[in-house]
């Protein structure tokens, strides 16, 4: 199950990735989804720190490598998500991990 690690009642913008692995890789046909308060149409996406006018909707399929964040009115800016074009990548599950958690890593090429 996915659950945000934020104080109870806090409104935070969450950037979700599908398939749920970090770092995300372009050749996985990655979909990013921005979750937060307010209307989906008010989502502002940033790529490599610059406002990305092409994408106003709540989710989209990534076509370029880079570092993405999203902003929703009322809940603010998400944490960044990097989408890599690496040919060899070591991935971990995308959910938040805590010290002591058992993790399955995967090496892909």
What are the pLDDT digits (tens) for 37-93?
877 678 899 999 998 866 678 899 999 999 999 998 888 899 999 999 999 999 999
Q: Which pLDDT does position 97 carry in this prediction?
A: 86
DSSP-derived letter for residue 26 is G
> What pLDDT was estimated at residue 109?
87
Kindly report, residue by residue over 10-45, the tens digit of the pLDDT. Answer: 568 999 999 999 999 999 999 999 998 877 678 899
Topology of domain 14-95+102-108, per CATH?
Answer: Immunoglobulin-like (2.60.40)
Domain boundaries, the chain: 14-95+102-108
């Amino acid at each position: 199950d996915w659950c945000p690690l934020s104080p109870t009642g806090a409104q935070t913008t969450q950037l979700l990735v599908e398939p749920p692995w970090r770092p995300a890789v372009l050749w996985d046909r990655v979909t990013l989804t921005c979750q937060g308060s307010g209307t989906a149409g008010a989502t502002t996406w940033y790529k490599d720190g610059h406002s990305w006018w092409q994408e106003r909707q709540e989710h989209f399929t990534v076509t370029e490598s880079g570092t993405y964040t999203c902003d929703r009115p009322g809940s603010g800016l998400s944490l960044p998500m990097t989408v890599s074009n690496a040919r060899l990548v070591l991935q971990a599950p995308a959910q938040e991990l805590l010290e002591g958690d058992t993790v399955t890593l995967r090496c892909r090429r």
